[in-house]
Homo-oligomer: A and B are copies of this chain.
């Protein structure tokens, strides 16, 4: 159903998943037509949840044409739907994506690609076959579409930093303290992993995206679950089998089966060395998705908590005025995606990165000749990140360096 220009046909989108990420994706589809001049018309055709999610109410709130409960019947089997957008928990990505691809749909999937490497592998296979049928896959590594990160990618891949020596990436959050109850994110079966898949997935992708280089080896790795027992939330009471809680309370405790923190060292193909650190216990760091890259001729530095800014150091500037330049990446004449938003320094936020990605997806689906503003990850690309994630876990558990090519 793809492969030729379809500039005048409406692109019917169906969303699957109506929790937090479903909201972020819905917002993207709602606003992309207002802020961007797209190359194809788009329709918010269907939103699909589980019955418990009340998909009708969700659909009405966000402006989807209908809310449906059964993704196989109501989405995959519906010939009007061209793009299936997956915003579910990680453990069902593979099942949905493969079904959609086999039904001839384009698929855009929330990151990480999958909860397990086995799932991810199957998804890549399905995508490879579908690609021959001109179907597209996309993964929502939304931080690529922060304008500051887009600029970093442009600076680094165009050679402004010269040879890259050192990448330091960290994604630090603090919400996983001992008082946080045993929600699904602490259940390996549903979430796949803890901070690792949630946070390291992002910074591995960002490091790959900005440098244009690939991780070849994890040299050393630490995986740690500091908080081993957590209170079982009441609504889970019947389902999770826990032991008695702290003395004097009636609270039932259960075991967290995911990491709180994973940190690892790596080498890139181009020779750079790197550290990656993800934690949910970095008190004071609420959403500190940071990266610094040092090269022979310059460096860049980013912190998502100040997402409109990029720091750039140009080692070739005159010595007297050389320093870190704090760039407000809000200039519509030069910075990626910005012209679609507001005047200079009328700053944007988290959700805009999804809208930016939606615009690229639509434009790519308009015509095979369209390039996204900055490169977009497909399943094969996201699988490389998944392999680095896996190598870090193997390295931590087997206490040895692990080549990424061992994984694939």
Chain A residues proximal to chain B, CB less than 8 Å: 20, 24, 26-27, 30-31, 33-34, 61-63, 151, 154-155, 161, 163, 165-166, 168, 170, 172, 174-175, 177-178, 219-222, 224, 226, 260-261, 263-265, 267, 271, 273, 275, 277, 279, 281-288, 294-299, 301, 304-308, 312-315, 317, 319-328, 330-331, 333-335, 342-352, 395, 399-401
Contacts and interface: CB of A to CB of B under 8 A. Distances in A.
Main secondary structure of the interface of A (DSSP, over half): mixed
A321 B314 CA distance: 10
Given A263-B265, A287-B347, A346-B350, 9 more contacts: A27-B31, A175-B343, A178-B296, A220-B221, A304-B347, A305-B345, A307-B347, A319-B334, A320-B331
A274 to B, nearest CB: 9
A354 to B, nearest CB: 11
Contact of A265 (B220, B312, B326, B348): B220
A3 to B, nearest CB: 29
A299 B282 contact: yes
A306 B63 CA distance: 32
B283 A221 contact: no
A287 B308 CA distance: 12
A335 to B, nearest CB: 7
A391 to B, nearest CB: 12
A171 to B, nearest CB: 12
Given A395-B220, A400-B400, A284 B261 contact: no
B222 A166 contact: no
Contacts of A313: 283-284
Given A220-B219, A319-B334, A400-B399, A283 B264 contact: no
Contacts of A177: 296, 315
Contacts of A267: 222
Contacts of A344: 175, 286-287
Most B CB contacts (10 A, CB to CB) among A61, A166, A399 go to A166
A-B pairs, 6 with minimum CB distance:
A220-B220, A284-B313, A286-B345, A287-B345, A323-B327, A349-B349
B297 A283 contact: yes
Contacts of A294: 172, 174, 279, 281-285
B350 A342 contact: yes
A222 B296 contact: no
Contacts of A295: 283
Contacts of A319: 331, 333-334
Contacts of A224: 273
12 contacts: A26-B34, A165-B260, A166-B277, A166-B279, A219-B221, A226-B271, A265-B265, A283-B296, A306-B306, A322-B325, A399-B401, A400-B400
B335 A320 contact: yes
Most B CB contacts (10 A, CB to CB) among A30, A172, A275, A343 go to A275
Given A323-B327, A335-B320, A315 B222 contact: no
Nearest to A400: B400
A182 to B, nearest CB: 18
Given A224-B273, A307-B347, A342-B350, A166 B261 contact: yes
A350 B338 CA distance: 13
A285 B265 CA distance: 20
Contact of A315 (B271, B283, B312): B283
Contacts of A163: 226
Contacts of A306: 306
Given A297-B283, A400-B399, A326 B323 contact: yes
A83 to B, nearest CB: 21
Contact of A347 (B26, B326, B335, B350): B350
A345 B296 CA distance: 19
Contact of A222 (B26, B219, B226, B261): B219
